[in-house]
Amino acid sequence: MKNMMLNYITEAGVSLHSRLYFPDGVNEESVGAYPAVLVFPEWWGLGEHILARAEALAKAGYVVLAVDMYGEGRVTSDANIANERMSELLQNPDLLNERTELAFNNLRAVAEVNPDKMAAMGFCFGGRVVLGMAREGLDLRSVVSFHGFVTSEQPVKQGVVQAEILVEHGELDSMCTLDDVAAFRAEMDAAQVKYHVDILPNARHGFTNPQATENGKRNGADLAYDQAAAQQAWENALAWLERTLK
């Protein structure tokens, strides 16, 4: 499968090392032929789990950009470092928006991409990122969040969200609770947004990541991989993208 590093630089000079994946069959006649998906990582950074998901999406027929949010491709398994890096972006919305918009614009500019068929997918912190993109009204057809943080301090207004939103959420997630999901539903209903929530039975935070259980033990965090939930959520997401993008 064809893939390549896609580097771009922020106004402050931070080099973001994202990775671009192409479906099999891409050739010189593929201009504007493919729907595209941005994939945003967990707070750990752009590691193996997210790159594997991006590759799987490319195999399913999408041009995919796995997004580096921290710069220089930095990855960690230390929750304190991850939280520090994530918090820097969450506490500086302009910085966060700059990086999401750079990713969006760079993927949209790829010759093989159909700019009218764009989606964003995120895991954990990345789930919060893509839901934020939807709430900002970016030109996305579809947004998918896996064990993401779904609440917002500023509820979205009717008519802003363009994307249809899918949330894949673990029933036993202690970091983003079912009460948070209920608040998300109320927000989306009030704004008349098209959305769907799947609750995966007995799944905990981070359930899609094969390293989640070990990361949880190492950092004293309530994380756990759940193979059955991960597979079901992935199948749900592929069906959702098929319907909304193709």
| Owning domain of residue 31 | 3-245
The predicted model gives 110-134 an average pLDDT of: 98
Q: Where are the alpha helices (DSSP H) in the chain?
A: 48-59, 79-90, 93-108, 125-136, 178-190, 212-219, 227-245
Cα–Cα distance between 95 and 74 in angstroms, integer?
17
Give the three-state DSSP class for 60.
coil
Could you tell me if 133 and 162 are in contact, meaning their C-beta atoms sit under 8 angstroms apart?
Answer: no
Residue 203 has pLDDT above 90, yes or no: yes
Residue 204 has pLDDT above 80, yes or no: yes
Q: What is the CATH number of the domain that holds 157?
A: 3.40.50.1820
pLDDT in tens, 136-174: 999 999 999 999 999 998 999 999 999 999 999 999 999
Q: Is the pTM of this model over 0.85?
A: yes
Cα–Cα distance between 246 and 244 in angstroms, integer?
6
Residue 91 has pLDDT above 90, yes or no: yes
The number of folded domains in the chain is: 1
pLDDT at 29: 86
